[in-house]
Amino acid sequence: MRPSELVIDREVFSVLSDECEKVIDTRKRLPDFVFQRSFARYFAIEHSHIGRKEFGLFLFKMSNIFEDESVNYMTIVPHPVDYYYRHHSLFGLASFNPPSLVERYLPVMSRKKDVNSFLYRGGDVGAFWGSSLKWGISCDRISWEMAVVAVSENVDVPTISDFRCMDASEISGYMKSQYRMKDPSDSIALDFAQRFLANYPI
């Protein structure tokens, strides 16, 4: 049975994808500035945290702080229409009711480890946001294995989550570890860190 959180209605998809574009510019990728406006604070985290049940709890806490009526996820790569709707008759978008986030997050995002679920192929590049439009998360697994949390108020993300947020030096080290085999000179990692930190005051 298809989870009810997965969007199959074209009008619902249109409304929610327009919401997403108010928070995140889906044409851009990290380390560029991917948000549509400046936020109060930014936090860099390892992408792998998104695949854990505890991330659903973090999203629930965010929804309480910002009084969101829904918390949403949309795929960017693969494309939510050209790939998901064309091949799977559903849009690459899930909309969660906050009270059920902790329970429903992993079952919806992984769909019993389906290869086309949002935590697998559909998680290459994606975006989370709340209906308040006061926060967003840009996720890029395919290139950088990183996600950036942006909040419009002075929310201390590390205190409401169980994951580590990276500081400037840790971002550089993390990128070096990602590209050590491909780029012994560290030029890719150093370029990423320089461009990233110019755009996001961590």
199 found inside a domain:
yes
1 found inside a domain:
no
Do 83 and 157 belong to one domain? yes
State the Cα torsion 40-46-51-54 to the nearest 10°: -60
2 found inside a domain:
no
Do 161 and 173 belong to one domain? no
Do 200 and 116 belong to one domain? no
Whole-number percent of the chain with pLDDT over 70: 100
Do 33 and 87 belong to one domain? yes
pLDDT (mean) for 8-14: 97
Check whether the bond before 3 is cis (ω within 30° of 0).
Answer: no
Do 154 and 172 belong to one domain? no
**Token pair listed for 19:** 């919401």
Please say if the pLDDT value at position 184 is more than 90.
no
User: pLDDT (tens digit, 9 = 90+) per residue, 30-80?
Assistant: 999 999 999 999 999 999 999 999 999 999 999 999 999 999 999 999 999
**Token pair listed for 92:** 């690459």
Secondary structure in 3-state letters for the chain: CCCCCECCCHHHHHHHHHHHHHHECCCCCCCCCCECCCCCEEEEEEHHHHHCHHHHHHHHHHHHHHCCCCEEEEEEECCHHHHHHHHHCCCCEEEECHHHHHHHHHHHHHCCCCCCCCCCHHHCEEEEEECCCCEEEEEECCCCCEEEEEECCCCCHHHHCCCCCECHHHHHHHHHHHHCCCCCCCHHHHHHHHHHHHHCCC
Please say if the pLDDT value at position 158 is more than 80.
yes
5 found inside a domain:
no
Please say if the pLDDT value at position 185 is more than 90.
no
pLDDT at 181: 75
pLDDT (mean) for 126-140: 98
Do 44 and 54 belong to one domain? yes
Q: Model confidence at 115, in pLDDT bands (50, 70, 90)? A: confident
Domain of 161, in residue numbers: 10-165
Do 145 and 178 belong to one domain? no
Integer Cα distance of 60 and 97 in angstroms: 9
Q: How many domains does the chain have?
A: 2
Do 122 and 47 belong to one domain? yes
Q: What is the mean pLDDT of the chain?
A: 94
pLDDT at 100: 96
Please say if the pLDDT value at position 180 is more than 90.
no
Do 42 and 131 belong to one domain? yes
pLDDT (mean) for 141-168: 94
Do 44 and 111 belong to one domain? yes
3 found inside a domain:
no
Do 15 and 52 belong to one domain? yes
Do 91 and 14 belong to one domain? yes
